[in-house]
Structure 1
Amino acid sequence: MKVVIVDYGMGNLRSVAKAVEKVAPQAQVIVSDQPQTLLDADRIIVPGQGAMHDCMREFLARGLHDSLLRAAEDKPFLGICVGMQMLFDHSEEGDTKGLGLLPGRVRRFAGDMVSPDGGHLKVPHMGWNEVLPSAPHVLWEGIATPEGQGERFYFVHSYYCEPADSGATAARTVYGVPFTCAVAQANIAAIQFHPEKSAAAGLRLLSNFIAWRP
């Protein structure tokens, strides 16, 4: 199995690659910015770190835009953090056009959010928070269920996704407001949190993605 971590000059590439190597020692894990390598992959992972407009600029500059869209047509695909946000039509961050693979938009957290105890919530949302699955999915096997308590994962972000189709939401988290922190549709899945920074639960999620047969 060939798992390609897409290198667009940004993102936590090596940490994600090492995490995938740990859970899938039988796989060939490749960090690449070559369009043909994306098309030859069995699985695609797009990690994210940085501003949305910078990420999209780099995708275009490196000639990855079209090959990523083609690869996402049928290959198991996992977007992480900004790699989730870029799947949508538009982001408020830099008034940026996304890939348009999923209808919806990316919005900034309000600056006046308060916690249940009345305290001010800082932006970015940074740290551990509970992820509550919305429906059964292979990503959550051995981690959490819609009927029970969620698992905690590590977040770092100032923007959140708002899918046009609520059926695409695979999990939610609450930070000031409830928001979609995971999506799943056909062969595409994406998560706002960082599995490579989320200890055992994050490794299990990556293992589940490797085993996924959409």
Structure 2
Amino acid sequence: MARGRFLAFEGGEGTGKSTQARLLAEHLGAVLTREPGGTPIGARVRDIVLAAEENGLVDRAEALLMAADRAQHVAEVVAPALDAGRHVVTDRFLGSSVAYQGYGRGLPTAEVERLSLWATGGLRPDLSLLLDVDHAEARARIGGARDRLEAAGDAFHEAVVAGFHSLAAADPERWVVVDGGGTVAEVAERVRAVVGARLDLAG
């Protein structure tokens, strides 16, 4: 049995990741999941990390919680599905930790990446799709009610987006930047074209 392929959607807030992850998973017949919160334990982690109010969580603890969520996620959802020959599409993975806790929070990016790789047993996505959306449009999409990370401020989010682009530029074999502007259908078509070309997955 051929092992499944693993695809991750990455990007800042309001880029449409969740919608595009769902559409691609439906198109491929893949397992759809997310981080944080792809498991019952992960849902508890998500409640802590994304609490609407400031809860005193320090940056290193945030990074460790994200890694803990990822370890559980891989063990419980991602690895079993891949081993069973299922494709897996996740809304966020390792790249988000490096971008948010590394570039955004200012923690050493290499250490954040090593922590996540240890948590996953070295598992990386076969392809990470970075949805790129104009900053003003992305912020408008978020709306008024914002969680703890969404409300972190423009400087933080600009650093996160720059971090994502640095990751994509440094590893073009595993990353691809997709224009997230336009209608949902237009973005979905771009995503399917990229996935078909890079991984030979036509759905």
For the aligned pair, the TM-score class normalised by the smaller chain equals 0.3 to 0.5
For normalisation by structure 2, the TM-score amounts to 0.37
Normalised TM-score (structure 1): 0.35
More helix as a share of residues = 2
